[in-house]
Chain A
Amino acid sequence: MSLEFVFDLLLALAIIWSAWRSLSASRLDLAIVMFIVFGLLMALAWARLSASDIGLAEAAIGAGLTGALLLDAYGALKRREA
C-alpha cells in the first residue's frame, strides 16, 4: 500500500465523517460549520483527482459562499426567534 493511497483513504474517511456530522449534529450551527469543513475536505479530494479547477471553485463557492449563506440564514432565523 503506497503512501498516497493511505492519504486518499484517510481523506475519504474524513469526508464521510464530516458529512455524517453535518447531517447528524444536534446543534444547527455546529452542523453548518461541519458542512464548511466538509466543503474544504472536498476541495482537497478534487486536488487529489488532479482537478484543481474544481478544487478552487469548491473552496471558494462550495465552502465559502454556501457556508456564508447558511450561517447568515441561521443568524436571521435565530434573531427573529429571539
Chain B
Amino acid sequence: MKRLLVVLGAACFVVLLIGAMLDLAPASIALHAAVSANLPSSGVEHPVTAVLLNFRGYDTLLEIAVLLLALIVILAIGIDSTTDVRPAASPVLQALARLAAPLMIVVAVYLLWVGAFRPGGAFQAGAVLAAAAVLLHLAELLPGWQSPGLRLRLGLAGGFLIFLAVAAGLLFQGALLEYPPEQAGWMILLIESGLTVSLGLILAGLFLLLSRDDGDRS
C-alpha cells in the first residue's frame, strides 16, 4: 500500500514538474551576461572560479566551514573497529601507489594553478590530493588517523582560517569578501592554495577517520 502510494506520488511529481519546465518562460535576468561583464575586475579569467571565489565567495566560505564541521562531528562520533582485520595489500598495488601518488600531487598543483584560466581549481585539486591519500592508505603505506595532532588540525582548519582572515581583513575597506580589483588575483590564489590543502586533508580525513585500523577508542 505504502509502496503504491509512493510510486504514484513520484510519478505525478515527475509529470507535473517536467510539464512545468517545458512551459517555463525564458529567464528575465541573464546571470551569465552579468558574470562576463564583471569578469575583468574579478582577478581570474575563468568564470566558474570567479563566481566561486569572488562573486559568491560567501558560499564557498560557508561550504568549507560545513566540511570542517562534518569532519569534527565524525571525530566526535568515533568508530571503534576492534575486529577490523584487512587483507594485506598486494605488492603490485603498493608499487603502483608509490608511482601514482607523486604524480597525483603534481596534477593537484596543476589543477590549482590552471583554475584561474580554465576548468580546474581548489575543489578538483583538493579531491585529487584526497584521492592520493586514500590510495596510499589502501596500499597500507599511510596508516589511518587515530586522533589528529596539532599540525594536522592546523592543516584541516587552515583553509577556512585563511579564507576567514582575508574576509575579515577586507571588512575594513568595504564589504565582506569584496576584493579590490588590482589585488584580487593573488588574494584568490592565496585562498585557493589554503583551500586545496584543507580540502584535500578534510576529504582524505573523511575516509581515513572512518577506516581507522585498530580501535583504541570505544
Contacts and interface: CB of A to CB of B under 8 A. Distances in A.
Interface of A: 51-53, 55-57, 60-61, 64-65, 68-69, 72-73, 76, 79-80
Given A56-B119, A56-B124, A72 B83 contact: no
A51 B207 CA distance: 27
Contacts of B203: 61, 65
Nearest to B111: A56
A79 B84 contact: yes
Contacts of A60: 124, 127-128, 131
Interface of B: 48, 81, 83-85, 111, 119-121, 123-124, 127-128, 130-131, 134, 203, 206-207, 210-211
B207 A72 contact: yes
B127 A61 contact: yes
A53 B134 contact: no
B127 A64 contact: yes
Q: Is the interface of B mostly helix, strand, loop or mixed?
A: helix
Given A64-B127, A65-B134, A52 B119 contact: yes
Contacts of A80: 83
Contacts of A51: 48
| A-B interface, 9 closest residue pairs, ranked by CB to CB distance from nearest | A60-B127, A52-B119, A56-B124, A53-B119, A53-B48, A61-B127, A72-B211, A57-B123, A57-B124
Given A53-B119, A53-B120, A56-B124, A73 B210 contact: yes
Contact of B131 (A52, A55, A64, A72): A64
A41 to B, nearest CB: 18
Given A76-B81, A80-B83, A57 B127 contact: yes
20 contacts: A51-B48, A53-B48, A53-B123, A55-B119, A56-B111, A57-B124, A60-B124, A60-B128, A61-B123, A61-B127, A61-B203, A65-B131, A65-B203, A65-B206, A65-B207, A69-B206, A69-B207, A69-B210, A76-B84, A79-B85
Contacts of B81: 76
A49 to B, nearest CB: 12
